[in-house]
A and B are shown apart, each in its own frame.
Chain A
């Protein structure tokens, strides 16, 4: 068990640019989740996958956000035309089954200038 890994750890981008984050879950976990956390708030759910199927998306996930998990292993989260309000920590988590505890990565901190 090597844990959930996220890349990059930090990303600074200018407003209007596109960014992509990667998440590698624990290998036997078929659920993969994306959350966003801003200062002083708890993690907010964005979306989750069971294998390669995206099963639920939050209303927070605007049209500028897209997530994929093409082979049911790693996942990517892309933000197009970034805005300053997108600045946050983006967390990925995985779990073995639907109600198993989530295992979180260390997150990708996005700063939009």
Chain B
């Protein structure tokens, strides 16, 4: 079975500051990894995914995440955040083969202050 730990439940930052949202996972098999974002009063949207290949993946709005197999981590980073990045961010994992159940972490609420 897979599990996901998001180490910070809330992260407040000032606009234009860098941010890192941490995610660690546990799995006995190889996995695919995802970050989803949930803006206030909206549904979950895929932010970025790691399936294979380069361990650094990027989103269209400046976020990036790096898959680190040895540390079983998939931290999300952005060098300069905007007010509009205020949202809840969920890390998720699914096994390669076997169960098709996507397992989520508890989420990190990012609040960007002016």
Binding site for B on A (CB under 8 A): 4, 31, 33, 35, 40-45, 48, 50, 55-56, 58, 91, 93, 98-99, 101-107
Contact = CB atoms under 8 A, between A and B. Distances in A.
Nearest to A44: B104
Contact of A31 (B51, B100, B106): B100
A58 B92 CA distance: 17
Contact of A102 (B4, B42, B102, B107): B102
11 contacts: A35-B104, A40-B9, A40-B107, A42-B4, A42-B90, A42-B107, A44-B104, A45-B102, A99-B32, A99-B100, A105-B43
Nearest to B104: A42
4 A-B pairs closest in CB distance? A42-B104, A104-B44, A106-B43, A98-B100
A104 B101 contact: no
Interface of B: 4, 6, 9, 32, 34, 36, 42-46, 49, 51, 90, 92, 94, 96, 99-107
